[in-house]
A and B are shown apart, each in its own frame.
Chain A
Amino acid sequence: MTAKPDPLIHPITRLSICGLLAAGADWVEFAALRDAAGISDSVLSKQSRVLEDAGYVQVRKGAVGRRPRTWFRLTAEGRQAVEGHLAWLAQLEEAVSASTRDAQQARPLLGDRDQLRRVLPPLLGSS
């Protein structure tokens, strides 16, 4: 699996939908996906249609009594794209946390002026 960004999955709503479908479940029902992602019915309908058109998501519609039930699953192509995108995001996260760590380690040295005043004159050769 190669870590690479996917412009189709990058918007946060679609990333949430795909990320949840890639979590390990085979099929996830509409209400479960909507509640877990914290989005509205209309947003889920719209974004899932985009993902379905792209061939990333498979949709199965059925009914229990009179209540319609829609189930979603990732296609093989969708799973590959999601895993690559998530790997890319994980790399970014690692890079950001590493740079934050470096900045935090550098700050005390620069921030302690008294220490600098004590250390610098001998180094510069002044009395």
Chain B
Amino acid sequence: MRDVARDPAALELLRVQRSRLADRMRLPWWYLAGYAILWALVFAGPFSSRYLPQGVPTWPIFAAAAAVACLMQWGLTRATGIKLPFRNLRYRPGRPVGIAILVVFLAASEAEFLLIRRDLIVAAIVVAALAVAAEMALLQAALRVTRRELRGGGGAA
């Protein structure tokens, strides 16, 4: 069974194959567009306090956003043929990106609320646009982490 000359070549072949699998992990245009719209809706949330009648709760927006995100994740799984496990902040390689997504979300939302309260609407819109751009950049960063994991073999060598 032991074939010292050929076994390392098998390992090299596996690296090539994993690279091929990682290359399948590309985000389709509709996924990127969907997430851009989703984040735009999320960052439009603070404006609702000014332009919508009082008493409109924000949680339905977040519930709808979460439902659409789940639907897009399902679509991505079907398109790529790769279903990734659920990751939270305990997943070390993706932790910096996850924290950055949260920080951008909280900071931008808070900044929007403050700017809207001071009637700086244009500035609030600029902050919202920048936050959407930042979240999309972080989505690409998360994809790079996933690809690196698939290429490197995750926990296995």
Contacts and interface: CB of A to CB of B under 8 A. Distances in A.
Interface of A: 5, 7, 10, 12, 15-16, 19-20, 22-33, 35-38, 64, 71, 79, 82-83, 86-87, 89-90, 92-93, 95-97
Given A7-B1, A15-B14, A71-B83, A24 B150 contact: yes
Contacts of A82: 156
B26 interface: no
B1 A89 contact: no
Contact of A20 (B10, B18, B155, B157): B18
Interface residues of B, number: 34
Nearest to A34: B81
B24 to A, nearest CB: 6
A93 B6 CA distance: 9
Given A27-B82, A32-B24, A86-B157, 7 more contacts: A23-B151, A26-B84, A27-B83, A30-B81, A36-B21, A36-B24, A97-B8
Given A7-B1, A35-B20, A22 B8 contact: no
